[in-house]
């Protein structure tokens, strides 16, 4: 699909984040399986539920835009998932693995925060208030999860260093 209008670019980026959310949802299950720290596991479990809601919100955005949901392969998400999988495969110490899980999840959250901000700006420019609200809801969840992960990082790192 040619990207020759702001709407076309919005739809391309929406398809991109739709794919990213699916990739990150699958990756969160892997992160959860690799995490031992109870608080980290709970945080990931909670965000898995949020990610499922976010996917539904993106599907609603497609509907509001008069389009069917479609995934545009997201190379950025693929790279982050691949990086996390490689790191986890190389780490044997469980406390250090928990730290890597937290780092991987935080990187994904920051990627999504930026992607949603750009989509929100475009939707505002197009005068799509309902779309903006759905995207802002997703972005707010990503910000909250990123902050929680960032607060957990020093504790996880201290456990790994002990």
Torsion of CA 33, 35, 39, 40, to 10 degrees: -90
Q: What letter would DSSP give residue 71?
A: P
Model confidence pLDDT, tens digit, residues 118-149: 999 999 999 999 999 999 999 999 999 999 99
Closest CA to 108 of 38, 15, 26, 3: 26
Residue range 84-99: average pLDDT?
A: 96
CB contact at 8 A, 152 and 40: yes
For the chain, what percent of residues have pLDDT higher than 70?
99
Q: What is the dihedral of CA 18, 21, 22, 25, to 10 degrees?
A: -170
Superfamily of domain 6-161: Ferritin, core subunit, four-helix bundle (1.20.1260.10)
Contact predicate 24/51, CB 8 Å: yes
> Predicted confidence band at 114 (pLDDT cuts at 50, 70, 90)?
very high
pLDDT per residue as tens digits for the range 32-83: 999 999 999 999 999 999 999 999 999 999 999 999 999 999 999 999 999 9
| Res 2: pLDDT | 81
How much is the pLDDT for 162?
Answer: 87
Q: For every residue of 107-126, which 3-state class applies, written as one string?
A: HHHHHHHHHHHHHHHHHHHC
pLDDT at position 1 over 80: no
Is the pLDDT at 22 greater than 90, yes or no? yes
Domain boundaries, the chain: 6-161
Question: What's the length of the chain?
Answer: 162
pTM confidence score: 0.94
CA-nearest of 7, 1, 14 to 126 is 7
Q: Is the dihedral of CA 114, 20, 136, 45 positive or negative?
A: negative
The yes-or-no verdict on residue 116 having pLDDT over 80 is yes
């Amino acid at each position: 699909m040619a990207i020759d209008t702001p709407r076309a670019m919005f739809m391309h980026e929406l398809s991109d984040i739709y794919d990213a959310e699916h990739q990150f949802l699958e990756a969160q299950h892997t992160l959860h399986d690799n995490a031992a720290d109870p608080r980290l596991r709970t945080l990931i479990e909670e965000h898995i539920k949020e990610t499922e809601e976010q996917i539904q919100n993106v599907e609603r955005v497609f509907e509001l835009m008069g389009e069917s949901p479609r995934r545009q392969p997201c190379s950025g998400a693929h790279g982050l998932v691949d990086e996390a999988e490689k790191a986890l495969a190389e780490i044997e110490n469980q406390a250090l693995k928990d730290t890597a899980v937290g780092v991987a999840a935080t990187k994904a959250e920051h990627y999504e925060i930026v992607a949603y901000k750009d989509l929100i700006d475009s939707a505002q420019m197009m005068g799509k208030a309902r779309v903006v609200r759905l995207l802002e809801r997703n972005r707010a969840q990503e910000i909250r999860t990123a902050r929680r992960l960032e607060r957990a990082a020093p504790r996880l790192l201290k456990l790994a260093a002990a």
